């Protein structure tokens, strides 16, 4: 199947990843970290074309947390105030335990990330053992949570084939991949690597891509032209242009929406995204 004939290639699913676990509020004062800031961000981003939100939450001191009560409250609040597909991160921060990362699924989001392998992450290690990946995948099958398989390096796509062969299709029956490119320690955010990744994405799967930092624009354009979807947000980039800080997440979503329209692949809404991902309405 050619990339442009992949399901959903007509319109673009834009995911916003507004917060992440890495940036410190002291360094990035406009990072949304409270529930109020997150809900407002979600509404602003939905208005300009986002249809899914990838969520990491923070505690009262703006530090990353996987506190289950907070996660549940967050899922409920974003559902109440937007139509966005709600995706929780099971990646958390590099310091989070496997147990806490698995427990994220108890908050019953529409979707959750599932990283397909271990990767160096700057000076840290983002650990994703095979048994842990299988546990995430099967718990999501049991609970009807649709995974987004996050790919930080090419070999992780090989692992995805193995996972699907051995443990069956995900909840919802559709396979959706997100290429996270340009992490120091992961795959590069360039066209050659993007092309290599495309060849390894499972037949019939949909994919999105995000470039970290300066890989942001090249990866966004590559994905649009390859029939893919896009993820943008302050989790991945806090610089809008050389010497210019990102104003807010909606600024990044608005730019992605504009480029998607130019590419004749306008943003799709949350309902269409649910169908594309296999998320129940």
* Contact positions vs ligand KMH (CB under 6 A): 20-22, 89-91, 93-94, 113, 115, 121, 126, 150
Among 74, 82, 89, 249, binds Zn ion (CB under 5 A): 89
Minimum distance from residue 111 beta carbon to ligand KMH (Å):
11
Question: Which helix (H) or strand (E) element contains residue 31?
Answer: none
Using the structure block, give the residue that is written with the tokens 């796509």.
157
- Answer yes or no whether residue 193 interacts with Zn ion by CB under 5 A: no
Please, which residue, 177 or 259, has the CB nearer to ligand KMH? 177
Using the structure block, give the residue that is written with the tokens 């995911």.
15
Binding site partner of 115, from Zn ion, ligand KMH, none, Cβ cut-off 5-8 A by kind: ligand KMH
Could you tell me which of 77, 63, 80 has the C-alpha nearest to residue 35?
Answer: 77
Using the structure block, give the residue that is written with the tokens 């921060």.
93
SS3 163: helix
Phi-psi region of 277 (alpha: psi -120 to 50; beta: other; left: phi over 0): alpha
Residue nearest to ligand KMH (CB): 91
Please, which residue, 89 or 257, has the CB nearer to Zn ion? 89
Binding site partner of 94, from Zn ion, ligand KMH, none, Cβ cut-off 5-8 A by kind: ligand KMH
SS3 267: strand
Which residues 135-174 are close enough to bind Zn ion by CB under 5 A?
none
Distance, in Å, from the CA atom of 227 to the CA atom of 265, rounded to the nearest integer, reads 8
Q: Which residues bind Zn ion (CB under 5 A)?
A: 89
């Amino acid at each position: 199947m050619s990339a442009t004939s992949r399901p959903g290639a007509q319109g673009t699913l834009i995911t916003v990843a507004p917060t992440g676990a890495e940036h410190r509020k002291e360094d990035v004062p406009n990072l949304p970290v409270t529930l109020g800031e997150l809900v407002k961000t979600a509404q602003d981003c939905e208005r300009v074309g986002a249809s899914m939100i990838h969520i990491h939450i923070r505690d009262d001191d703006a530090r990353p947390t996987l506190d289950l009560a907070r996660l549940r409250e967050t899922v409920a609040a974003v559902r109440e105030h937007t139509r966005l597909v709600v995706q929780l991160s099971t990646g958390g921060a590099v310091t989070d335990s496997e147990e806490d990362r698995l427990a994220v699924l108890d908050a019953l989001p529409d979707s959750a990330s599932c990283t397909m392998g271990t990767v160096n992450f700057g000076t840290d290690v983002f650990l994703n053992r095979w048994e842990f990946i299988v546990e995430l995948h099967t718990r999501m099958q049991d609970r009807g949570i649709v995974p987004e398989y996050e790919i930080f390096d090419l070999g992780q796509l090989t692992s995805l084939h193995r996972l699907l062969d051995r443990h069956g299709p995900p909840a919802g029956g559709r396979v959706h991949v997100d290429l996270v490119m340009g992490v120091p320690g992961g795959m590069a955010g360039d066209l050659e690597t993007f092309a290599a990744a495309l060849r390894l994405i499972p037949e019939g799967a949909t994919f999105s891509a995000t470039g970290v930092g300066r890989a942001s624009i090249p990866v966004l354009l590559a994905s649009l032209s390859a029939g893919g979807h896009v993820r943008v947000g302050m989790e991945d980039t806090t610089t809008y242009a050389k010497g210019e800080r990102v104003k807010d997440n909606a600024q990044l979503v608005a730019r992605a929406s504009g480029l998607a329209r130019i590419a004749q692949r306008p943003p799709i809404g949350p309902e269409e995204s649910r169908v594309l991902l296999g998320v129940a309405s």
